[in-house]
Amino acid sequence: MPVTRIVSVVLVALGVWAVAVCGHTADQQAQAPAASPPPQAAPPPSGAIPVAEIAAQATTTTAFLRELTSRLAPSAEIERIQRTLPEASKLIELESEGTAQMLRGRPSLAAIASQQELWKVRQLRRTGG
Residues 61 and 87 in one domain: no
CA distances from 6 to 14, 15, 71, 113, 125 (A): 12, 14, 15, 53, 39
Task: Write down which residue in 46, 71, 96 finishes a domain.
Answer: 71
65 within 8 A of 6, measured Cβ to Cβ: yes
**Which residue type sits at 59?**
T
Domain count, the chain: 2
Residues 66 and 90 in one domain: no
Residues 90 and 113 in one domain: yes
More confident residue, 81 or 6: 81
Residues 47 and 27 in one domain: yes
CA distances from 124 to 18, 75, 80, 98, 128 (A): 57, 21, 16, 19, 6
Residue 22 pLDDT > 80: no
Residues 81 and 48 in one domain: no
pLDDT on residue 2: 62
Whole-model pTM? Answer: 0.40
Find the domain containing 90 and state its range: 76-127
pLDDT on residue 70: 83
Q: pLDDT tens digits for 24-70?
A: 554 455 555 555 555 666 665 667 888 888 899 899 999 999 888 88
